Amino acid sequence: MDISSAQKLAWENKLSKGFNTTDTPLEFGLLTAEVGEAFTAWRKGLPDLGEELADIFLYLTALAEMNGLDLDSEVTRKIEKNTRRTYERNEHGALIRTSTD
């Protein structure tokens, strides 16, 4: 399934179930909670890490939909931008971007 299809299906599910579709700050809060749940699943080696990561993706698609964004196009654009960037390590070993956008 592509990102656009997933975004549409996730949105339709939110509408049909009566979940939040208008409160962007709430959706960011719920997304943050899901990131915490995924971290806990990873840290404890729980079997539901994949499900928690999927929850993060679904909240992310909802935020995109609430803000009129096509997440598929945004991800494609960002990957292309990241591909053009170059990095070098500084004296502390940290990667520092050396290209301009």
The domains of the chain are located at 3-97
Rounded Cα distance, 6 and 95, in Å: 34
Looking at domain 3-97, which of 3.40.50.1000, 1.10.287.1080, 3.40.50.1100, 3.40.50.2000 is its CATH number? 1.10.287.1080
Task: Give the global pTM.
Answer: 0.87
Who contacts 84 (Cβ-Cβ below 8 Å, separation ≥6)? 99, 101
43: its two tokens? 């840290």
Q: Given a cut of 80, is residue 99 above it in pLDDT?
A: yes
Q: What is the mean pLDDT of the chain?
A: 97
Residue 19 — pLDDT band, cuts 50, 70, 90? very high
Rounded Cα distance, 65 and 70, in Å: 7
Mean pLDDT of the region 25-53: 98
> Do the beta carbons of residue 24 and residue 75 sit within 8 Å?
no
Mean pLDDT of the region 12-28: 97
Helices (H), the chain: 3-17, 24-44, 49-66, 71-84
pLDDT tens per residue, range 60-91? 999 999 999 999 999 999 999 999 999 999 99
Residue 101 — pLDDT band, cuts 50, 70, 90? confident
Residue 81 φ then ψ, to 5° = -65, -45
Question: What is the per-residue pLDDT for 77?
Answer: 97
Residue 100 φ then ψ, to 5° = -100, 155
Question: What is the per-residue pLDDT for 78?
Answer: 96
